[in-house]
Structure 1
Amino acid sequence: MICKMRTFFQFLTLLLFGLTLQAQDSKKAKDLLDEVSAKAKSYDNIVIDFRFTLQNQKQNQNQDSKGNLTLKGNQFVLNFMGVTRIFDGKKNYTIIPEDEEVTISKYNENDENSITPSKMLTFFNSGYKYNWDILQNIRGRKIQYVKLTPLSSKDKTKEILLGIDTQTKHIYNKIEIAKDGTKTTLTVNSFKTNQPISKNHFTFTESKYPNYYINKLD
């Protein structure tokens, strides 16, 4: 009986110790993410060149694309897969040269699919459980990974791994694994800050697209 009680208390001690470590682990991960968010918000602007890959072996999908993104305050310009998207702080402009079409829509803060710079930089601040993951040495850079697990069972994402440069506190890559097995990886090839940007960089000029169909949704 005494032996069984001793075993039970040893198990209980290990369990409580494990829970304490898990809580510390989660706090450490969240603190690092807070540093990343604060660092990004401290810049006047950010210019990123990135690579995006999508893989799903079951569906025989394998895509590889490059793009670039410019962020300033509550504005952005995204060039990706032949499409340019401009957000001037009030409206979204989606320019599709292949179709010679421009779609214009107002920003709706209640729409979960609406993308803004603030959402890009802080998407991880809520709705996830945080875990400290592996540290990798990638071409001389120490990349610390933080695992994000969605709290909602309805979320189509299984988990997200954010790779963070421990020196700069910039995001190096984002690996997202969906429940259907799809794996997408966004890797930052170039991260520049406080660049000289034209004041009209985030302005849509309709006269530049004389033969385009202008589709105004609002």
Structure 2
Amino acid sequence: MARFLKSTPRIIKNKNMKYFNKIILASALVGSFTFSFAQKVDAKAKTILETVSKNYKAKKNTYFKFSYGTGTGKVSKTETGIFYSTPSQYKLNIMGNEQIFDGKKVYNISKEDQEVTIAQPNGSEKALSPINYLDEYKTGYTVTYAGKSGGLDLIKMVPVKDNGVKSVVLYINTPKKQIAKIIQTSSGNDLAVITVNQYKENQSLSASTFSFDKNKYKNYLITEL
């Protein structure tokens, strides 16, 4: 994990936000390097993932309201977050912090620290989206169909090389072609659980949804890397 985090833009100082990014961005670690290790992808799992991925990519924009639970062995703390995205932009709000990618730069906004950090993108921005896992199966994971739970299809992804993640389980509502939940378990048995509580698509969003207005942060320390 350390190797990957050093290559990303500077993340908001708030320690909870750092932990959030560390968990969600873990999927990008596998995609950041080329592995020669053999991976196996179950045909049924691949079909489901490709169908869901195609569905999301066909949308003008998407909106997720989600709960984000963490803990060791079991979830002991839960936060609520929202995520907007287009094929080339996103906005994430969680734990009182905001992160925006306007298609050119990444803006990390910490209300607690009254600080804004601006960084050039390095290709990892898409990792902040829960739907990134839909394409990450293509490299670095062994992927299997793991049955059903509560009417949802379960797909298990296991990294072919140790990256601090033991497994990722995707809960898929196949008829709707949507992700319902993601459970990521670390090698140390730490859990990160994202549960999608509300989903919307193709909304009429304001032109400023994915923009950063410097005038709103006149009392903030603004650092551009």
Q: TM-score range by the shorter chain?
A: 0.7 to 0.9
Q: What is the correspondence of 1:53-202 to structure 2 with a 5 Å cutoff?
A: 53-57=69-73, 62-109=76-123, 114-116=124-126, 119=132, 122-137=135-150, 142-152=151-161, 154-202=162-210
Residue 121 of structure 1, CA deviation: 5.1
CA distance in structure 2 between the aligned counterparts of 1:103 and 1:121, rounded to whole angstroms: 29
CA distance in structure 1 between the aligned counterparts of 2:138 and 2:52, rounded to whole angstroms: 11
The reply on whether 1:209 has 2:217 as its aligned counterpart is: yes
CA distance in structure 1 between the aligned counterparts of 2:212 and 2:134, rounded to whole angstroms: 23
Match of 2:35 in 1: none
- C-alpha change, 1:121 and 1:101, in structure 2 (3 Å) is farther
CA distance in structure 2 between the aligned counterparts of 1:165 and 1:102, rounded to whole angstroms: 37
Q: Percent identity?
A: 32
**The residue matched to 2:137 in structure 1 has which SS?**
helix
Residue 62 of structure 1, CA deviation: 2.6
Residue 134 of structure 1, CA deviation: 2.3
Larger Cα Rg: Structure 1 or Structure 2?
1
- C-alpha change, 1:90 and 1:181, in structure 2 (3 Å) is same
**The residue matched to 2:70 in structure 1 has which SS?**
strand
Residue 184 of structure 1 aligns to which amino acid in structure 2? Answer: A
Give unpaired runs (5+ residues) of structure 2.
1-39
8 Å Cα contact 1:102-1:212 kept in structure 2: yes
Match of 1:19 in 2: none
Q: Which has the higher strand share?
A: 1
Alignment counterpart, residue 35 of structure 1, candidates 42, 51, 61: 51
**The residue matched to 1:186 in structure 2 has which SS?**
strand
Give unpaired runs (5+ residues) of structure 1.
1-22
CA distance in structure 2 between the aligned counterparts of 1:119 and 1:143, rounded to whole angstroms: 19
Residue 120 of structure 1, CA deviation: 6.0
Residue 101 of structure 1 aligns to which amino acid in structure 2? Answer: E
Q: What is the correspondence of 1:10-21 to structure 2 with a 5 Å cutoff?
A: none
| Structure 1 segments of 4+ aligned residues over 4 angstroms from their partners | 117-121
- C-alpha change, 1:121 and 1:205, in structure 2 (3 Å) is farther
Residue 167 of structure 1, CA deviation: 1.1
Residue 209 of structure 1 aligns to which amino acid in structure 2? Answer: Y
Residue 49 of structure 1, CA deviation: 0.0
Residue 136 of structure 1, CA deviation: 1.6
- Structure 2 length-normalised TM: 0.77
8 Å Cα contact 1:40-1:121 kept in structure 2: no
**The residue matched to 2:59 in structure 1 has which SS?**
coil
- Number of aligned pairs? 183
Match of 1:49 in 2: 65
CA distance in structure 1 between the aligned counterparts of 2:216 and 2:72, rounded to whole angstroms: 39
Q: CA RMSD in A?
A: 1.9
